[in-house]
Amino acid sequence: MSENSVIRFGGATGVGSLPGGDAREAARTATGSFEDFPFLAELPARGPGADMIGRTAGMLVDLYARVEPSGWRIGDRPGRDTKRARSWLGEDLDALEEFTQGHEGDLKVQAVGPWTLAAALELRNGESALSDPGACRDLAASLGEGLRLHLAEVRRRVPGARVVLQLDEPSLTAVLRGQVRTASGYRTHRAVDRQIVEATLRDTVGAHADGPVVVHSCAPDVPFALLRRAGAAAVSFDFALLTERDDDAIGEAVEGGTRLFAGVVPGTDGPLSDPAGSVMGVRTLWRRLGLHPGLLAEAVTVTPACGLAGASPAYARQALAQCVRAARSLADNPE
């Protein structure tokens, strides 16, 4: 295994979003469910600025965004939307700090990655920043600096934590394939060169030199190999979207020391199987790849399939508890 094999994570954690709008209740849930690997909860139900794009736009340095009818648009100065996003993030950090007193170990925080941000943020002409290579570079540089400041603030508030950064990149595959639609909706932006995508991600991952980075995508066809080369210590994905075409890339990732954050618990309300049933597909994959069962607990962190913002509060708590039980099942019975 590579040097990445020395990186260890807890057996289970959340993806990021939770239902509702109470920061203290969300922090209590996110920290109480995962003593070994809590996360900074996101509450998009509060409105613009609490959504994943607005929240990350509020972290940018020397770039600002405001809400337009069509979405988030880059502007000249910080307006009320930027201030609202920063205020909510501060509220969330206050709550996290309250519930992580004395915490030592992993703590995960999430932000949108550079390519999903470029696909979502509009330029002044209404087109996606993705349409302008210079704008993409400026955006990635601003994000990298913003993340450095944000992560330093988290470390200051929770000094015993190893802060793990999760970059949310649900649009990454669409960016690579030229599937992001233009403002008119009639065309798509051309595919971005894979080497440019990889180099930009590598720079963003490098913004967190003091801790590991997870890249999350709950879209199909996650580019595992590209993310590994960009320096991701782990890849987070919706396990139900895997196909056997992904087998080779996943096998290489595991053998190269990359951790898998397997989203196996449904993100919306519904009946839950027993914990062993939740990870049955992971065991099946392991056998298919010919990997040693003893590697399972080392290589896999169990999560919900995606964020839980669309779930009921009661189900969200059940889903997080299910992740913990399923991870324990994998560790106790890897066969």
pLDDT of residue 65: 94
Three-class SS state of 122: strand
Q: Side chain identity at 265, as an amino acid letter?
A: V
User: Is the pLDDT confidence value at 1 over 50?
Assistant: no
Helix runs in the chain, H state only: 23-33, 52-57, 80-99, 114-120, 133-157, 172-177, 194-206, 224-229, 247-255, 275-278, 280-289, 296-299, 313-332
- Sort 185 into a burial class: Cβ within 10 Å, 0-12 / 13-18 / 19+: exposed
Measuring CA to CA, how many Å separate 144 from each of 138, 278, 309? 10, 36, 26
User: Is the pLDDT confidence value at 15 over 60?
Assistant: yes
pLDDT of residue 2: 38
pLDDT in tens, 201-237: 999 999 888 899 999 998 999 999 999 999 999 999 9
User: Is the pLDDT confidence value at 6 over 50?
Assistant: no
Q: What is the total residue count of the chain?
A: 335
User: Is the pLDDT confidence value at 160 over 90?
Assistant: yes
User: Is the pLDDT confidence value at 7 over 80?
Assistant: no
pLDDT of residue 176: 97
Task: Calculate mean pLDDT across residues 127-137.
Answer: 96
Say what the pTM is.
0.95
Task: Calculate mean pLDDT across residues 42-68.
Answer: 96
pLDDT of residue 4: 41
User: Is the pLDDT confidence value at 5 over 50?
Assistant: no
